[in-house]
Amino acid sequence: MSKRSRFILILVVLGVCFAFLWSSIGWYAFTPKDEQTLALGSLEKIKDYSHVMAVADVKTLTAAVRSNASGEVPEEFSYLEKTARKNYKLLGKTAPKEWTLSSLLAGYPTEKELITTVEAKYRDDILKAKSLYDGSVKLGLDLSGGMSIVIRADLDAALASQDEYSTETPDEFKEHAMLQAIDTLKSRIDRFGLTEPVIRRQGTDRIYVEIPGAAEANQINSIVMGKGILNFRAVNTEASNAFNEYYYSNPENVFDANGNLINPSLIPEGTEVLGSYTKDDYGLDERRGYLVVDKTPVLDGKHVKSAEIGSDNVGKPQVNFVLDSEGAEIFADYTAAHVGDNLAIVSDNKIKSSATIQEAIAGGRVAISGFNLDEAQNLKKVLETAWLSVPLEIETQQVVGASLGASYIQQGLRALIIGLLLVLVFMIVYYHRAGINAVIAQILNIFIMFSVLSALGLTLTLAGIAGMILTIGMAVDANVIIFERIREELKLGKTRAAAVSIGFKHAFWAIMDSNITTFIAAFFLSVLGNGSIQGFAVTLAIGVVSSVFTALFVSRLMFDFETEVLHKEKVSIGWGIKQ
């Protein structure tokens, strides 16, 4: 490869690596801590936060208009001018050259549109930070702190509880039950803490859960092992209307940070406020309001035996579900005494559906209508979580405190920096000016390793840091082999250019042999291993490739630069070499 081609290749590689690493730089260096906390929250929490802040901002803006309508638009609201200008054009009006508070609000026909625009700004800013995190190098639980759990689903026990209503084969039932168990866990754990959990399937009957940040083991266990996730609650319509009217006029002063009512006297005793949800276009739960429901359930979800989608008399979708004998009796008695009242289906403290009781429902066969096909499928899925009761058992559980994780980061970085400095000092002392080439190659080696971790979305663990430290030694080994070959050629009286060329040529296969065998070992460790072994193997494999590149391309280019551009005739490459 020519020197020009080698130089272009290095520039391209470094440019691509910088692009890969930009997300990590943006996240860890330029994203404020409070913004990181918001971005790490679930999409549901981001949505709630954006809406509350938007309502508060609109109130601030309208108050400013009332006090000084001709005042200048504050800098933090200048982004509203773009949408206002479009609205002026749609209305056939001329947008003002100089915006005032009153002219800005005049560009929004309704307060709802103004709230939507402000909410979109909050949401986009948080999601932009979230995208940076998604593309950055992530810290494992041993560094960031948190909890990892392996849960086993007893599919055989779930199959044994299958009743005569099911038409699925055993394999279909187990697959369906496993998917429902994962969905149920996601719904439960997603609301715990501030950070989005990692929940994925392992094998046929196990679920792996990671919950970064501080987490109480007992609380997590109660969530994982919890029962009665679905029930039917009576709706207090009058209290619901009064609460919603108060909430929409004072949204920022109703709930505290934990979602609890600041003023419990807003609702009658023995009731609670729950959000009423539907699925949005992204498949996320979207709250469409609040309902005040009785704390004591009318009927527990354990009585639901099966659920399916059917059609009503006019062909519209409806959900049919069957109750066991005890549930049928309870439901018949209640519906007979509460015709005209509303009844809500509650899953994991979220209202998934509510309907008016039209007549007494006896026999245990219930039909709910009044929604489209997607809503019917979502409700069927909710009801299935009650009768697909899959026993869950926690097999392993590991908790790492946030302070301990921070300590690990400091210790790991300290070991990495000290190891790197000692190696580099040795190279400069022993190999003189040539050692500087090794120093630059090592720095670029670390840079490339982090960029690849960022590009692949991999997680950096304590074992991964150990793999990096080992890579430093291996990368220096490649430089040592090259330098020693060059020294041998210089001792034979070769010129600088000839010694460098032949030295790299003779060192090539020695470097490749040792690194290929190491890469093969690291590859199989990463494929067959798990946990800390896998983290170590992945960083080692990446380090092997990057160290070969920096040793054979970057170091060679620096030698050639000194020879052909700086016109140096001698090589400063250690003691005992005289030219």
- pLDDT recorded at residue 12: 92
Interhelix angle for 170-189 vs 373-387, to 10°?
A: 100
Boundaries of CATH 1.20.1640.10 in the chain? 401-564
- 537/280: higher pLDDT: 537
Boundaries of CATH 3.30.1360.200 in the chain? 146-400
- CA 440 to chain centroid, in Å, comes to 35
- 241/160: higher pLDDT: 241
- pLDDT recorded at residue 268: 92
Question: What would the two tokens of residue 409 be?
Answer: 């980061």
343-353 average pLDDT score: 82
pLDDT greater than 60 at residue 547? yes
Question: What would the two tokens of residue 511 be?
Answer: 């470097």
243-261 average pLDDT score: 81
Question: What would the two tokens of residue 265 be?
Answer: 């006297």
Which of 218-227, 364-373, 395-404 has the highest average model confidence (pLDDT)? 364-373
- pLDDT recorded at residue 576: 64
469-486 average pLDDT score: 85
Could you tell me which residues are beta bridge partners of residue 397? 149
211-235 average pLDDT score: 64
pLDDT greater than 80 at residue 324? yes
Fold type of domain 146-400: Gyrase A; domain 2 (3.30.1360)
CA-to-CA separations, 272 to 236, 266, 292, 293, 383, in angstroms, rounded: 10, 10, 6, 6, 22
Determine which of 342-356, 397-411, 523-537 has the lowest per-residue pLDDT on average.
397-411
Count helices and strands in the chain by DSSP H and E runs: 19, 15
pLDDT band per the 50, 70, 90 thresholds, residue 250: confident
- pLDDT recorded at residue 194: 39
CA-to-CA separations, 100 to 69, 80, 104, 127, 508, in angstroms, rounded: 7, 12, 6, 30, 70
Check residue 290 and report its DSSP letter.
E
Q: Which residue has the tokens 């400095």?
A: 421
pLDDT band per the 50, 70, 90 thresholds, residue 44: low
Query: What is the rounded CA–CA span in Å between residue 433 and residue 577?
Result: 12
- pLDDT recorded at residue 371: 64
Q: Please report how many Cα atoms fall inside a 13 Å half-sphere around the Cα of residue 359, on the Cβ side.
A: 5
- As a whole-number percent, the residues of the chain with pLDDT over 90 amount to 16
Question: What would the two tokens of residue 262 be?
Answer: 């600041």
Mean pLDDT for the chain overall: 82
pLDDT band per the 50, 70, 90 thresholds, residue 400: low
Please check whether residue 144 is in contact with residue 213, taking contact to mean a CB–CB distance below 8 angstroms. yes
For the segment 187-204, what is each residue's pLDDT rounded down to a tens digit?
Answer: 666 554 435 567 888 888
Burial class (CB in 10 A: 0-12, 13-18, 19+), 522: buried
135-155 average pLDDT score: 78
For the segment 558-577, what is each residue's pLDDT rounded down to a tens digit?
Answer: 888 888 888 888 888 877 66
- pLDDT recorded at residue 228: 45
pLDDT greater than 70 at residue 2? yes
- Listing DSSP states for 503-528 in one string gives HHHHHHHHHHHHHHHHHHHHHHHHHH
- 125/367: higher pLDDT: 125
Query: What is the rounded CA–CA span in Å between residue 552 and residue 158?
Result: 59
Please check whether residue 215 is in contact with residue 198, taking contact to mean a CB–CB distance below 8 angstroms. no
- pLDDT recorded at residue 81: 92
State the architecture of 401-564 in CATH terms. Up-down Bundle (1.20)
Query: What is the rounded CA–CA span in Å between residue 416 and residue 460?
Result: 13
- 25/393: higher pLDDT: 25
- pLDDT recorded at residue 325: 87
Say what the pTM is.
0.61
pLDDT greater than 70 at residue 483? yes
